[in-house]
Amino acid sequence: MDISDVIAPAFLYVSLLVILYGILLLSYRILLHPLKAYPGLFLARLSDIHNGYYVMRKSLHLVSRSYHQKYGKVIRHGPNKLLFNTPKALHDIYNNDMVVKSYVYSVFIQTPGVHSLFTVVDKQHHTAKRRIVGQVINDRSMKMFEPSMAGQIDIYLKLLSESSKRPDPKPVNMTQMFEYLACDIVGLLAFGYHLNLQTEATNRFMLQGMYSANHWTNLRMHFFILHQLGLIRIIRRLNGSILVSKANAETTSQDDRIHMSEIWSEGISFFPAGAFSTSGALSALFFYLSQSPSCYKRLATEIRSAFAASHEIRGGPKLADCQYLRACIDEALRIAPPVPGTMWREPAANNSKPLIIDGHYIPPGTQIGVNIYAIHHNPEYFQDPFTFKPERWLSETPEAQRKSMQDAFSAFSVGYRGCAGKAMAYLESSLVVAKTLWYFDFERAPGKLGEVGGGRPGSHNGRSRLDEFQLYDIISGAHDGPFLIFTSRGDSSASERR
C-alpha cells in the first residue's frame, strides 16, 4: 500500500474534525454561551480577530466607544468579554477583591514566575511590591527628588529658549520634547541613571523600542501568540538603581531582595508607565491650550500672578493653590487618557459567591472591563466630551455634576491597583506647565505643521475631528505634536532660572 493512500484519508478526516469543531464552537458561542443575550457586534460573538484588526490599527479605543454608542452601556466585546461604560461598573470592577487581572496580562511576564507590580495577581504580593515602588515615589521621596527633576526641566526650558531665538524661531514638536524630558526624569528617579535623551541621541532608540514593545504586547493580548520586543539592552545598564537600593535596604533576607529578573520585570512596566503618562498629558494640554485662547490666557494669568519669581515655582502650597492649572491637567488627562483602552479583569477563581458588576451576574471565565477613552467621552458624565473645558472641574460647575465626573474619571485607574505614580505625574506636569508659561508665550506653527496632532476632516475611522488630539492605542496612548513656536517673555529671563 502506498503511503499516500494513508495520508490522504487521514488528512481529510482531520480536516473534517477541525471544521466540525469550528462549527460546534461557533454555534455554542452564538446560541448557548452564557453571554448570548448581550448586544454587540455579531463578529465579536464569534472571535477576537475583529478586535485584533483594530488593535493592529491602534484604534480599538475609538471602535469601543462607537460600539457603546450603538449597542448600549454593556456590550459583548468578544466571545468571553463584557465591556461596560458606567461609573458603577468602573468601581465594581477595579475596586473589588472578587476580581483579578485577566490572564492576558501574562504576556508582560519576562521571566517565568517573576511578576512586576503591573502583572502580579496575588493581592499580598501586589501590596508588597507596591510598598517597595511607593518608597520611590511617595511625597517624601518626591521632595528629595524635586531638585533633580527641576534640573531636567531646566534643560527642557533651555532647549525651548534656543528654539525661540529671533529672527528665525524653530517649531518644536512637543511630543518629542516631553517624551525626552519624562524619560530623563524617570531614568534618574527609578534607576539613578542619566539617560540624557534631551541632549544626546545615544539612548533615544529606547523610545521606539518601548512603543514597538507596547504595540506588539497589545497584539499578543488579543492573539496571545505573538512575541514581545525586548529592552534588555537598556535595563542591564540600570542595575545601580534607586528602586533596587530602596528595596534591598528594607529587606534582610537574601531571598527577598530584588534580583536582575525582577529589575527587568519592574522596569519593563515602570519605565514606560512613568514616562508616557506624563508626556501624553502634557502634549495634549499644550495642544488644547494652543487652540483655546481663553483657556491659555486664564492659565497664564494664574501662573504669572501666583509667582513673583521663577524660583518660587516648586512643589508646595503655592503651586497647589493654582486650581486652574490642576483643572487643565485633569481635563487633558480626561480628554486624552494615558491608557485609552481597556484594562481587562476576570472573576477570581476562589470566589465563594456570585460576582455582580453594575447589576449583571458575571459567569466564571468572563473578561470584564471599562474602556477609559469611552467613559471619558460619555456625554452622560461629561457634557460636550470633545470640548476642552478645564472649568468643568472647578467650583463654578455644580457639585452634583462634578461628583458625577469624578466618579467616571479613571486616568490613573481606581482602587488598590490605581497608578502608584499619580503624585509624581501631577507634580511633574504642574512644574513643567507653570515654568513654561512663566518664561514663554507660544502659538501653533503655521501651515501643515500646525495641524499635526489633530484629526483629518472627512476621515471615517473616528479621527475626523481636526481639533481633537489623536491617540493611538498601544496600551499606552501614542501621539504626535503639537508643533509650537515659542517666544521668550519680556518680563522674564532664562538667566533667572534656578
What is the chain's length? 498
Taking alpha carbons only, the member of 369, 392, 449 closest to residue 64 is 369
DSSP for residue 366:
-
Local confidence band at 485 (pLDDT 50, 70, 90 cut-offs): very high
Burial grade of 112 (CB within 10 A; 0-12, 13-18, 19 or more): exposed
Name the least confident of 5-9, 205-209, 234-238, 377-381.
234-238
Nearest to 244 by CA among 224, 260, 231: 260
Measured distance CA(198)–CA(177) in Å, rounded: 7
Query: What is the C-alpha to C-alpha distance for residues 472 and 341, in angstroms, rounded to an integer?
Result: 10
pLDDT digits (tens, 9 = 90+) for 80-108: 999 999 999 999 999 998 999 888 887 77
Domain residue ranges in the chain: 33-496
**DSSP helix/strand/coil, 353:** coil
**Above 90 in pLDDT, residue 291?**
yes
Does 112 score more than 70 pLDDT?
A: no
Q: Is the pLDDT of residue 24 over 90?
A: no
Distance CA 271, CA 248 (A): 19
Pairing of strands 345-347, 99-101: antiparallel
Residue 126 has pLDDT above 90, yes or no: no
Percent of the chain as helix, strand, coil, to the nearest 5: 55, 10, 35
**Rounded (10°) angle between helices 323-335 and 260-289:** 110
Binning pLDDT at 50, 70 and 90, where does residue 420 land? confident
Residues 6+ apart with CB under 8 A from 6: none
Spatial separation of the C-alpha atoms in residues 421 and 18, rounded to whole Å: 48
CA 176 from chain center: how many Å? 17
For residue 107, give the C-alpha cell: 504576556
Helices 323-335, 422-439: axis angle to 10 degrees equals: 120
**How high is the pLDDT of residue 242?**
46
Question: What is d(CA 132, CA 246) in angstroms, rounded to the nearest whole number?
Answer: 7
Task: Tell me how far apart the alpha carbons of residues 59 and 52 are, in angstroms, rounded to a whole number.
Answer: 10
Paired sense of beta strands 81-84 and 472-474, if any: unpaired
Pair type for strands 81-84 and 367-370: parallel
Q: What is the pLDDT of residues 50-63, one digit of tens each?
A: 888 999 999 999 99
Q: Check the annotation: does 328 bind a ligand.
A: no
First-to-last alpha carbon distance for the chain, in angstroms, is 89
Q: What tens digit of pLDDT does each residue of 32-46 get?
A: 889 999 999 998 898
For residue 435, which of 183, 156, 169 has the smallest C-alpha distance? 156
**pLDDT of 142-200, one tens digit each?**
888 899 999 999 999 999 999 999 888 999 999 999 999 999 998 888 778 899 999 99
For cell 538603581, the residue is 241
CB-based contacts of 182-185 (< 8 A; 24+ apart in sequence): 182/274, 182/275, 182/276, 182/278, 182/279, 182/282, 182/428, 183/207, 183/271, 183/275, 184/152, 184/155, 185/148, 185/149, 185/152, 185/274, 185/275, 185/278, 185/428
Find out if CATH 1.10.630.10 is the number for domain 33-496: yes
